[in-house]
Chain A
Amino acid sequence: MEPSAKEDKQPKPRLIVRLGIFLASHHILFSALCCSAGIMALLFLPSLAKNTYLSENALIPGSANPLFSSEDVTEANKFIKGIEAAAGESRGGMEMSKFIVQQMKDLGAEVCYHEFLPHSKHFHPLKFFTSMTNDLAVRPNGTYSNSGTNTIGIIRAPRGDGKEAIVLVTPYNPQKVQANEVLSLALGFSVFSLLSRAAWLSKDIVWLSADSQFGEYTAVSAWLNQYHNPMFVGGVKHEPDGIAEKAEFTDFKRAGTMAAALIFKVGETRNYGDRDSVTMYAEASNGQMPNLDLLNVVHYLAVHRQGFRVNIETISSLLSSAWLRAIAEVIHTLGSILRKINPDWKLDITASDYVEGTANLASSIYNQALGVPTGSHGAFRDYQVDAVSLEFSPTFYIRNENAKSSFLVRGGRLLEGVVRSVNNLLEKFHQSFFLYFLTAPSKFISVGVYMIPFALLVAPLPIVAAALADGSRKKGESIDASKTKGSADNLPTEVGSWKWLQAARVLLVIQLWAVIVSLLPYYISQIPDGTPIQSSVIWVVLAILTLIVLYAMFGSPYSAGVEWKLLKATMITSISIGLGLMSIINFATAQLGALIVIPMCLFSRPLKAQLGMSFLPRTVLCASNILLAIFGFPPAALLIMKGLSKGSWTVDLGDFWASMEFLWEWSSATYLYLFLVHLPCWLLCIHVLLHPCRQVGSKVKRE
């Protein structure tokens, strides 16, 4: 009996356990290494970008000669004249859509109108978990004067079975007709007329001229909603007042499942560069992107066939920043050294490339992190349709006929080519990436690469949590051991294993508070005539009151005598769960959040506990704690961001309300992240900082 008991007392732990213990005992070094490596990897991202390539073989872009010719340009010019005449006699924009319908009917297309109401502002951040398709479409009845009207034309494919469709969208504002919008309508029409004659079509073509008087997105999403959610309104026929011939087109018409959608518009004339340029917008809600193959097709055809310059969004202030250039130089030197070590590492991109790549990447990350779509293509992504917005920026003046017709030819050919490629598809887009950042129109960073910095940043969290939880348990055990020295076996007691329950309770109370705070705007936004400042003041006051009430109900975090180490361990575990979840929902948000939250968590240490340290580390720790705690508070972070980007440092509470309103209206998961992950973490951090650090001796007495 005796030897076996001894063996049981000190069993040799398994290798993986020993490894864990080793890491936990060196957690400070480990986390410092991991975090700095993560930030380094983040800086190296632009040089890790790869060139895009087409992975779906069926697309074969540019393999057929384009059929779009000068005849179609004549067609477009005729259309421009007609629609300008119609716009001249327009009453409320109805004439324009009537003209478009007439033209489409002449081509033999099926035509219908779609009326919709402007999208009212609602609080729906939680919509992320349900799907957009659960909405019921609201059909305006005749009493609404301010409804919009989309015009839809459908070409049935001669070789198709009507099960699939490609969507072309041209937004225009019938209330205020502009030359470039007319041009984009003409471009759409000429492509549509070409496709109505094409014998090779195997997918139906839907041309949606979206009424953008309430914004493009509203029009497109209203149409998509009705397209996917059939309404059964038995027998209630409504006649729009005064327009008799319109009634025959009010039956909603559908084509098949959408394979892809192209939104195109002609923007303002820009005079940079010698070539007409196309800007691609791809970010949909919550950082979702269309399949990379769609962007590849557009880019390939635009650059290599039609001679456009392709741009993506960029943060132009970064292009001229001096410190970025300095970093670029350093990265370039580092890259060339690495290249000398191993010629296969092609990390040495030139400094200017690096700067440009970083500016594009920053914009890509920012747009994805915000979780708000950059255009009406976002509405398509909610229905799992790959869509991209193209904004043509011509270098000529709209009245220049020659330049215009050459532009029309090239734009038309580009659109025709893209449609033709998508038409070849046998399956949904699935070959290429869905999760990527763009650093240039033809360069991307795939999920496998951009995960690395994030993974490195998150890696220390579980280790530190384990080290803290373990350290606090060890202490408990030693106390108990001294207490029960008399007995034969050293009894680790409840204190050892379940002590974290108190800390978990604090965490749960704070999470409950966070949930309440994140739901408050739903009620506050229903107060009539509230200015943003009033609303945000009410919000803040209610949040503080709720916190006080919750503490009164469940006891304040310090009253239960939670050790700060356990509190910190709980906080770190909760933040790693939160960041992990967010990285799946919207990676960019998690990445940006990790940069703020992780140092804040790792540095946090009670101010009282720091008293015992020597001067230099104490000041450094204290300063970084306070700085990070300030920067981690969402309104403060917003203010600093605004200050850095715009240079205006005015404190305006209303701004905070406005930006949060912006997030929840677009049902952005970033809002949920801010209030369910970031804010509770910040509050816990503050709790850790202000922890009274009573001696453990008092606890022993209590127990």
Chain B
Amino acid sequence: MAIRHYWSMAVAAVGFRLVLVLFGGDLHLASRPEVSTPLTSLRRLAEGYWLKQASMSPYSGSMYHGSPLLLSVLGPLTSKRSGGHHSHIYCSLVFVAVDFIAAMLIRSTGRTLQMARNRSLKSLDLRKSVNNSVNVSAGDTASLIYLWNPWTIITCVGSCTSPIENLMVVIMLHGACSRLAPLAAFGYVMATHLSLYPAILILPVALLLGYGPDTPPTKVFLQKGLSANKIDMSDNGKGTSQKGFGQFSWKPILHFILWVFIWSCYVLLLNSIILNKVGGLQEMFEKTYGFILTVKDLSPNIGVLWYFFAEVFDFFRSFFLIVFNMNIIFMVLPLAIRLKHRPCFLAFVYTAIVAMLKSYPSAGDSALYLGLLGLFANELAEMQFTFFLFFGYIGVSLLSPVMHNLWIWRGTGNANFYFATGLAYTCLQTVLVVETVSSMIKHDRKLRLLTKA
């Protein structure tokens, strides 16, 4: 069931962005802590570019912490000024295009997923009973959610580089879903290079390349095979087709690894060329990855780490740095084992967890995982607490600027007020992750029960 007026809605979303880019200069979104972080701020990028033009290391002065590649791609655009508009208009136009491409890639990923789903449901003879209840076009829904999500819009308009990071993750998923190892490897290398955390997405990507897109668990197919065999022992064709599911093929993975190697060498080479004479690769790693991992900048953002590290005693700092960074790693393996049959969904869960626990989170990270959430519209139709989550997100995103205003401008509040919003936001995300995972598992269980019947 495709969504009516898809294209007009998509074009309207792009048009809305353009209107905001051209006339929304007074919104000052770029200075909001929810939108731009020290890593993604375009103002910092402009500063880095300026330093580099002056033959200095772009990382000197602790202003810029992004990739040198962005510097040479977006840098020249930041220095161009046009009267009457806000300063980074050309970059913003680039981001609009980037958002649109990302949405299109999400759409085609959704199509691939939908096809895989229909195929596996067909082989389970469940098409009718499941599709009766819900059948929306996942790709269209997801890309529309991505395009019309207010957070994506403010990220796009708000002069920060998050849209590009998101695009790389989407490229990676798209490449992995359509089993294009070079594309997936490119997305993976770039996303990791730009913001480090997507590195943990190697597991879903490997599973995607190995097993193919999301399917019901292997157990269901085995069961189906068993009952089918009982009914009709002679039907060999079906048995072989079921064996196709759940088989892990190593070839694309080796392919992927090879390409990852090639792309990383290429990216490092480009970086070292760009940074030639103005600081080396080591400084780059220190100032980007080091900056991410050691949480040096404690200016407020919507996460929870800034507050914690502002409070913690210095001699405990390294301990807690290890704890917080390991926190993300701890969750990787158990989730991968539980959700190995649904690698795309696993990637969504990982991005949500990263958005929650990363050191400098912003609305852009949430925009990515909320967009990906739409891909599983059919499977998550029975999710609980959706009403609560929806209004919770709205409430938090309105509360955050108010609390910030109370603390910074009016002086009647304090840091705790703003941090409370961050806590509430993290709780909401936790509820979202827990609910999505549990309803996905429930969905799988339901499929199992239906096959048995």
- Cβ contact within 8 Å between B402 and A581: yes
- Cβ contact within 8 Å between A497 and B386: yes
List residues of B (390-404) whose CB comes within 8 Å of A's CBs.
390-391, 394-395, 398-399, 401-403
List residues of B (360-384) whose CB comes within 8 Å of A's CBs.
381-384
- Cβ contact within 8 Å between A585 and B449: no
> Interface stretch among B62-70, B291-299, B335-343, B405-413?
B405-413
List residues of B (241-275) whose CB comes within 8 Å of A's CBs.
none
Partner of A498, one of B28, B381, B395: B381
Smallest distance from the beta carbon of A47 to chain B beta carbons, Å?
A: 26
Indicate whether A407 reaches chain B with its CB closer than 8 angstroms: no
Partner of A493, one of B133, B386, B450: B133
CA distance A569 to B411 in the complex (A): 35
CA distance A584 to B403 in the complex (A): 8
Indicate whether A515 reaches chain B with its CB closer than 8 angstroms: no
CA distance A131 to B411 in the complex (A): 12
Indicate whether B231 reaches chain A with its CB closer than 8 angstroms: no
- Cβ contact within 8 Å between A577 and B394: yes
Indicate whether A574 reaches chain B with its CB closer than 8 angstroms: yes
Partner of A288, one of B129, B390, B410: B410
Indicate whether B313 reaches chain A with its CB closer than 8 angstroms: no
Indicate whether A435 reaches chain B with its CB closer than 8 angstroms: yes
Partner of B445, one of A8, A434, A493, A573: A8
CA distance A580 to B411 in the complex (A): 19
Indicate whether B330 reaches chain A with its CB closer than 8 angstroms: no
CA distance A487 to B449 in the complex (A): 10
Q: Which residue, of A5, A577, A580, has the highest number of chain B Cβ atoms within 10 A?
A: A577
B431-450, CB under 8 A of A: which get 1 and which 0? 00000000000000110011
By beta carbon, the residue of chain B nearest A669 is B402
Residues of B within 8 A of A498 (CB): 381, 383, 386
Residues of B within 8 A of A585 (CB): 402, 406
Residues of A within 8 A of B381 (CB): 493-494, 497-498
- Cβ contact within 8 Å between A488 and B387: no
CA distance A577 to B406 in the complex (A): 17
| Chain A interface main SS type | helix
On whether A577 and B395 interact (CB within 8 A), knowing A434-B412, A487-B450, the answer reads yes
Indicate whether B233 reaches chain A with its CB closer than 8 angstroms: no
On whether A435 and B412 interact (CB within 8 A), knowing A573-B391, A581-B399, A581-B402, the answer reads yes
List residues of A (321-339) whose CB comes within 8 Å of B's CBs.
none
Contacts beyond the supplied A288-B412, A577-B394, A577-B398: 20 A-B pairs with Cβ under 8 Å? A1-B452, A128-B405, A129-B405, A130-B28, A384-B409, A384-B411, A487-B129, A493-B134, A494-B134, A496-B382, A497-B383, A498-B381, A500-B386, A500-B390, A573-B387, A580-B395, A580-B399, A581-B395, A584-B399, A584-B402
Residues of B within 8 A of A489 (CB): 446, 449-450, 453
List residues of A (535-579) whose CB comes within 8 Å of B's CBs.
569, 573-574, 577
- Cβ contact within 8 Å between A500 and B449: no
Indicate whether A23 reaches chain B with its CB closer than 8 angstroms: no
CA distance A569 to B390 in the complex (A): 13
By beta carbon, the residue of chain B nearest A384 is B411
Residues of A within 8 A of B453 (CB): 487-489
Residues of A within 8 A of B28 (CB): 130
Q: List 8 contacting pairs A-B, 8 Å CB cutoff, sorted by A.
A: A129-B401, A384-B410, A487-B453, A497-B382, A497-B384, A498-B386, A574-B391, A577-B395
A481-511, CB under 8 A of B: which get 1 and which 0? 0000001110111101110100010000000
Indicate whether A349 reaches chain B with its CB closer than 8 angstroms: no
Indicate whether A469 reaches chain B with its CB closer than 8 angstroms: yes
A302-314, CB under 8 A of B: which get 1 and which 0? 0000000000000
Residues of B within 8 A of A8 (CB): 445
Residues of A within 8 A of B446 (CB): 489, 491
Smallest distance from the beta carbon of A56 to chain B beta carbons, Å?
A: 16
Q: How large is the interface on A (under 10, 10 to 19, 20 to 34, 35 or more residues)?
A: 20 to 34
Residues of chain B touching chain A, judged by Cβ–Cβ distance below 8 Å, are 28, 129, 133-134, 381-384, 386-387, 390-391, 394-395, 398-399, 401-403, 405-406, 409-412, 445-446, 449-450, 452-453
On whether A584 and B406 interact (CB within 8 A), knowing A288-B412, A487-B129, A577-B395, the answer reads yes
Residues of B within 8 A of A435 (CB): 412
List residues of A (105-151) whose CB comes within 8 Å of B's CBs.
128-131
CA distance A504 to B129 in the complex (A): 28
Going nearest first, the 9 A-B pairs with the smallest beta carbon separation are A488-B453, A493-B133, A384-B411, A131-B409, A494-B381, A434-B412, A494-B134, A577-B395, A573-B391
By beta carbon, the residue of chain B nearest A132 is B409
On whether A581 and B398 interact (CB within 8 A), knowing A487-B129, A489-B449, the answer reads yes
Partner of B387, one of A5, A128, A469, A487: A469
By beta carbon, the residue of chain A nearest B390 is A504
CA distance A74 to B384 in the complex (A): 79
Residues of B within 8 A of A5 (CB): 449
CA distance A488 to B449 in the complex (A): 8
On whether A500 and B387 interact (CB within 8 A), knowing A487-B450, A492-B382, the answer reads yes
By beta carbon, the residue of chain B nearest A5 is B449
- Cβ contact within 8 Å between A494 and B387: no
Residues of A within 8 A of B384 (CB): 497
Smallest distance from the beta carbon of A169 to chain B beta carbons, Å?
A: 20
CA distance A504 to B394 in the complex (A): 11
By beta carbon, the residue of chain A nearest B135 is A494
Smallest distance from the beta carbon of A283 to chain B beta carbons, Å?
A: 13
By beta carbon, the residue of chain B nearest A381 is B410
CA distance A130 to B382 in the complex (A): 41
By beta carbon, the residue of chain A nearest B391 is A573
CA distance A498 to B450 in the complex (A): 22
Residues of A within 8 A of B387 (CB): 469, 500, 569, 573
By beta carbon, the residue of chain B nearest A504 is B390
Residues of B within 8 A of A500 (CB): 386-387, 390
CA distance A288 to B133 in the complex (A): 53
Residues of A within 8 A of B390 (CB): 500, 504
CA distance A95 to B227 in the complex (A): 106
CA distance A131 to B409 in the complex (A): 6
CA distance A130 to B405 in the complex (A): 8
CA distance A581 to B453 in the complex (A): 51
CA distance A494 to B382 in the complex (A): 6
By beta carbon, the residue of chain A nearest B445 is A8
Residues of B within 8 A of A569 (CB): 387
Residues of B within 8 A of A574 (CB): 391
Partner of A491, one of B133, B383, B391: B133
Residues of A within 8 A of B405 (CB): 128-129, 131
Smallest distance from the beta carbon of B206 to chain A beta carbons, Å?
A: 31
Smallest distance from the beta carbon of B226 to chain A beta carbons, Å?
A: 13
CA distance A585 to B446 in the complex (A): 47
CA distance A491 to B132 in the complex (A): 11
Smallest distance from the beta carbon of B174 to chain A beta carbons, Å?
A: 26
CA distance A492 to B442 in the complex (A): 12
A565-609, CB under 8 A of B: which get 1 and which 0? 000010001100100110011000000000000000000000000
By beta carbon, the residue of chain B nearest A287 is B412
By beta carbon, the residue of chain A nearest B394 is A577
On whether A577 and B449 interact (CB within 8 A), knowing A384-B411, A493-B381, the answer reads no
- Cβ contact within 8 Å between B391 and A577: yes
CA distance A316 to B213 in the complex (A): 74
Residues of B within 8 A of A488 (CB): 449-450, 452-453
- Cβ contact within 8 Å between B410 and A494: no
Q: Which residue, of A8, A494, A504, has the highest number of chain B Cβ atoms within 10 A?
A: A494
Residues of B within 8 A of A504 (CB): 390
Smallest distance from the beta carbon of A79 to chain B beta carbons, Å?
A: 36
Residues of A within 8 A of B395 (CB): 577, 580-581
Residues of A within 8 A of B382 (CB): 492-494, 496-497
CA distance A434 to B410 in the complex (A): 11
Smallest distance from the beta carbon of A179 to chain B beta carbons, Å?
A: 39
By beta carbon, the residue of chain A nearest B405 is A129
CA distance A584 to B394 in the complex (A): 16
Residues of B within 8 A of A580 (CB): 395, 399
CA distance A130 to B27 in the complex (A): 9
